[in-house]
Amino acid sequence: MVILIISIFCSNFLLKLLLPSLNKNLIDKPNQRSSHTSPCITGGGVAFIIVHLAISIFLSNYNQNLNSTLNITMSCLPLAIVGFIDDYKGVRNYIRFSIQIIVSILIIYSSNIVQIENNFILSSVVYIFLAITSCTVINFTNFMDGLDGLVAGCMTVIFIVCAISINQSNSILALIGALIGFLFLNWHPAKVFMGDVGSTYLGAIYIGFVYLSTTWDQALGLILVSTPLMSDALICLIRRFISKQSIFKAHKLHLYQRLHQAGLSHNLVSIIYILGCIAMGIAFLGWGLKASLCLAFVEIFVGYLLDRRVATAFY
């Protein structure tokens, strides 16, 4: 609890300290995928990253069991650096994707989820699959960062479930607290966005925590906690591909964006997604993987109903 309180305070304090500098150099102007209508400060994710990293390093000096989470945290830093540069002046897609692949490989290696010496061919296939999964989660998390408090709120819930499920709670608590401290300024009306530096880091660190699972059932269960976020991004991607739209072009066709366009407030849409993550977390922690799978289908069906009856048309 002390770690949580300290990280909340430090993250909020550091973010407020950085705001004047961010306001001069990092302004997110409305574009084709924006849900905001006026320029806003971005790059605020750097605050919770610094706090999480600093506390993780401090804790690892007193508890060697936390070295695995620290290794994953360090592995995610190149992605955060590129994300910060992207927020500042933009980065070419091939550079961004190359760093994502490198970071994904580092995360898999740091988590030690794959033992290559047992069966090289099978392990290599698993390695490739996990790398693709990692890049997917990183990008989907980034895609979903489009409404005030949406990703920060959902990820706070997801990391709480991770902290309970895997034996790395202190390090994850530092990230939870840092996110809460950020959320005070990111909830609607947001004073600052986390930017690519924050969203890609959260996606990477999340999949890294998943890979610390002791069983594949546990790993899948932790992935399913993010069903509201990941299913929205995945279904939107599939629909755009089927509609022969460029999947690389900016858009506002995610369900959360179309719900907002239909008149639902930032707060209401974010709360719907956060509650979905809470329900998935309770199902997984309380009743296990089978309950999570059942609830995931229910939530996807609820998303279908919202898409048909509430959201603006997909076009």
Binding annotation for Mg(2+): 142, 196
> 3-state SS of the chain?
CHHHHHHHHHHHHHHHHHHHHHHHHCEECCCCCCCCCCCEECCCHHHHHHHHHHHHHHHHCCCHHHHHHHHHHHHHHHHHHHHHHHHHHCCCHHHHHHHHHHHHHHHHHHHCCCCCCCCHHHHHHHHHHHHHHHHHHHHHHHHCCCCCCHHHHHHHHHHHHHHHHCCCHHHHHHHHHHHHHHHHHHCCCCCECCHHHHHHHHHHHHHHHHCCCCCHHHHHHHHHCCHHHHHHHHHHHHHHHHCCCCCCCCCCCCHHHHHHHCCCCHHHHHHHHHHHHHHHHHHHHHHCHHHHHHHHHHHHHHHHHHHHHCCCCCC
Contact 286, 294 (CB under 8 A): no
Which residues are documented as binding site? 142, 196
Distance CA 256, CA 262 (A): 10
